[in-house]
Amino acid sequence: MAYNEDLEKRLDYAFKLFPKDIAKEILKKKMFGGLAYLFKGKMTVGIIKENLMVRIVADKIDEIMKMEVVRPMDFAKRPMKEFVYVSSKGYTTEEELQNWIELGLEHARKKLKNTK
């Protein structure tokens, strides 16, 4: 299954802008028929076909779901908890894309904190 390679290039570049202690912990992995970016083994954002996939912390998910560019990630025909798809209209600028990455990193950090 193909995914948006231009978005992959944008995400690669965006992650390189983070401080080295964060950037060195990012791993790209093929998942869900697309590509996922993991921080210390925890999924942050990814690409599935033309969609940006983002993991969102539970206390922000309701507000995020109100956005017109967001819909539940329904990969297996059922919404997946704390996962959303963002349409291409939701990441037209680098600042918008960076915001989604920050939300995904927030989710990963929270999961890491809860496992300690």
Q: What is the pLDDT of residues 36-66, one digit of tens each?
A: 999 999 999 999 988 999 999 999 999 999 9
Structural domain including 49 reads 5-114
Cα–Cα distance measured from residue 41 to residue 27, given in angstroms and rounded to the nearest whole number: 8
The whole-number pLDDT of residue 84 equals: 96
Residue 101 is classified by DSSP as H
Task: Report the number of distinct structural domains present in the chain.
Answer: 1
pLDDT surpassing 60 at residue 27 = yes
Q: What CATH number is given to the structural domain containing 16? A: 3.30.1460.30
Q: Which residue has the tokens 């939701």?
A: 90
3-state helix, strand, coil in the chain (%, to 5): 40, 25, 30
**What is the value of pTM for the model shown?**
0.91
Cα–Cα distance measured from residue 52 to residue 66, given in angstroms and rounded to the nearest whole number: 17
Which one-letter amino acid corresponds to residue 23?
A
Mean pLDDT taken over the chain: 92
Q: pLDDT, tens digit, for every residue of 89-101?
A: 999 999 999 999 9
